[in-house]
Every structure is written in C-alpha cells, then in structure tokens.
Amino acid sequence: MKLAIVGATGLVGQEVLKVLEERHVQFDELFLIASAKSVGQTMKFKQKEYTIKSIEEGCTLGADVAIFSAGGGTSLDWAPKYAQAGTIVIDNSSAWRMDPTKKLVVPEINGKEITTEDKIIANPNCSTIQMVLALAPLHAKYKIKRIVVSTYQSVTGTGKDAVQQMMDEREGIEGIKVYPHKIDKNVLPHIDSFLDNGYTKEEMKMVNETRKILGDQSIMVTSTTVRVPTVGGHSEAVNVEFFKEYDLKEVREILERTEGVIVQDDVKNNVYPMPINSHGRDEVFVGRIRRDESQPKTLNLWIVADNLRKGAATNAVQIAEFMMETTLIS
C-alpha cells in the first residue's frame, strides 16, 4: 500500500505519523506532502529520511490512501483531484463533513457504512468525535432527545501558531497573534467565526455532525465552545436528556464496555478525567457520571480526550485501518 500524508509538517500531520508508528500500520511506500515553503526539506520517520513533496506532485504518485490535514481550502481544491487519480482521501478538515454524498465516520460507530464507492471520507470535528463515542451506545439503549454541551478546548486545536501565542504571552514576549484576545490565563468563548444566528461555526459543527454520525436528525443539540489555555486535550460538560428512563449503574456498565472509552469516575478519591492525563492517549475518558436532578431522564457527563489523537490523527488512521481490515483497500 502507498500512503500519503498531506499536511505532514502540521500538528495533526505530525501526530498522524506518531500514530502510524505506534499502531504498526503496514505500508510499502510513504509520501510526505506539505505546503510550498516546506517542499524539498526532509523529515525522519522510523529512522528513514523522507523528502517533502508538493501537493501537486503528490497527486501523481499513485497513493492508495491520502490522509489530509491541511485545512478546508486545500481539501476542497485537492481532495477531488486525488480521488479522481484513484486515491482514497481521509480528510481531517470540515470541507466535506456535511456533504450528503460523503460519509462522516467514527469507525467504532459507523465504520460499516463505508463502501468501495467512497473516495473521500470525512473525519469529524475533534469535539464531536469524543462526545459521540461516549453517547452512541447510550443513544442505542435509551434514545437521545436533547444534548446541551459546553466545551473547554485546548489551543492545540487551532494549531502551532496558537500554541506559540500562548507560550509567548506566558514569557512576556510580543509575538504572533492568532486569537483576537490574550489566551494565557484567559478563556475565549469564541472558536471559529460567528454566524448570523449568534453561534460559532464550531458550535454548529457539533450540532450538525452529531446528528449525521448518530443517524438521527431529530436529536436536539445546543453547544457553547470555549478556548482554554491548555496544551493538548479537549474537555466537555455534557447534559443529555433521553426519551427512556435509564439506570445509572447500567449507564456505567455500558460505558465501561464501549470500545475506545475509559471510565474514570471515583470522586471520593478525586479520580475524574483531566486533559493533562489524556495527552498522547487514544481513548476517550468519561467521568462525573451523575443524574441531572433538575429534570427526569437526564444525565450529566464529563468527557475528555486528546484532540490531536482520537479527535483527529487516530480517528483518521483508524478509518484507514478499518478499510484495510475489511478489504475496502487492497
């Protein structure tokens, strides 16, 4: 198999390479592709030097799979060209997520929907992935009526420059600014651009993507997404109302059995998910599991995951693995 990583020098691209190595993904050739300023430079992967290629050249190399982590504009321009050249594109941007002709995939939930006809497959938003991975089995059992979610998202979700801005502020250095306000020792209720309805694009992604992944347009979702000064790991306070009554013990048992989920919920010993402990991990951590005492059939959860791992790189690699295991990729 020939594998291409588009956006190999970015935070997610770098994480994809780590995940490939850790999971021992087998391939015959690897192409590292990045923007024009990086073309010709070299990168080391598993003790081998690779020369970074342009996206134009990458399209001619006959890759079987290309994992795109280079932004929505690049994906809109180039994913169809790669697909037309015979390459299956797994795209990390928001470009194709809500396209009705494209699958939006979390392998543990809806990987079986992928067919040989799918040439561009969308990777969901990082915040959506971690939430739906925990909620999907509960939806299957109790049927979700409404979700209220507030997120606390790491600066790594914005990229390298955002991390640099926070570090510069911490050191008192005047440097690059990617946020409209200071981020160190601050929180910004502002992720992506604002829409006419007063919500941000990030907030509406969580609304629309959740419905698409769970296959249920009747689920009511409202979201507030907030940027916090942490490096790695998104956290979410999730309030979910079901149509059916649930048993709290059974909820815990369902979550403990769910692939990719780890329950950390021992408040007597101060055990609960925290982003600092999720860093570099592929699992989604769930804790603070408790009944909402203000209304019936409603549950509170605290959900944490490394946004660069399961929220992006790991999920993309898992899609490729799933396709290889099910012979959708030869």
Q: What is the CATH number of the domain that holds 105?
A: 3.40.50.720
Number of domains forming the structure of the chain:
2
**pLDDT of the residue at 232:** 86
Whether residue 228 is contained in a domain is answered as yes
Distances (CA, A) of 243 to 78, 95, 139, 143, 150: 43, 33, 9, 6, 21
- Assess whether 119 and 45 both reside in one domain: yes
Q: Is there a single domain that holds both residue 88 and residue 223?
A: no
Query: Domain check: are 317 and 299 in the same one?
Result: no
User: Does 6 fall in a domain?
Assistant: yes
How many C-alpha atoms does 180 have within 13 Å on its Cβ side? 7
């992935």: which residue's tokens? 129
Instruction: Report phi then psi at 134, rounded to 5.
Output: -75, -35
Does the pLDDT of residue 330 top 70, yes or no? no
Same domain, 164 and 113: no
Same domain, 140 and 276: yes
Residues 37 and 170 in one domain: no
Q: 164 and 283 share a domain?
A: yes
Mean pLDDT over 80-89 rounds to: 97
Let me know whether 138 and 157 are in one domain.
yes
What is the CATH number for 139?
Answer: 3.30.360.10
Shared domain for 184 and 303, answered yes or no, is: yes
* Within a domain: 59: yes
Residue 330 lies in a domain: no
What mean pLDDT is predicted for residues 188-216?
Answer: 98
Distances (CA, A) of 322 to 113, 215, 259, 294, 328: 11, 20, 14, 41, 8
Statement to judge: residues 169 and 90 lie in one domain: no
pLDDT of 227 reads 98
Mean pLDDT over 315-328 rounds to: 91
Q: Is residue 32 part of a domain?
A: yes
Q: Which residue has the higher pLDDT, 326 or 207?
A: 207
Cα distance between residue 150 and residue 277, in whole Å: 20
CA 93 to each of CA 72, 97, 111, 117, 329: distance values in angstroms, whole numbers, following the listed order? 5, 8, 18, 20, 22
Note the pTM of the prediction, 2 decimals. 0.95
Instruction: Tell whether 68 and 109 lie within a shared domain.
Output: yes
Residues with active-site annotation: 126, 234
Assigned token pair, 270: 């101060």
Tell me, yes or no, whether 149 lies in a domain. yes
Q: Do 214 and 293 lie in a common domain?
A: yes
Domain that holds residue 203: 127-307
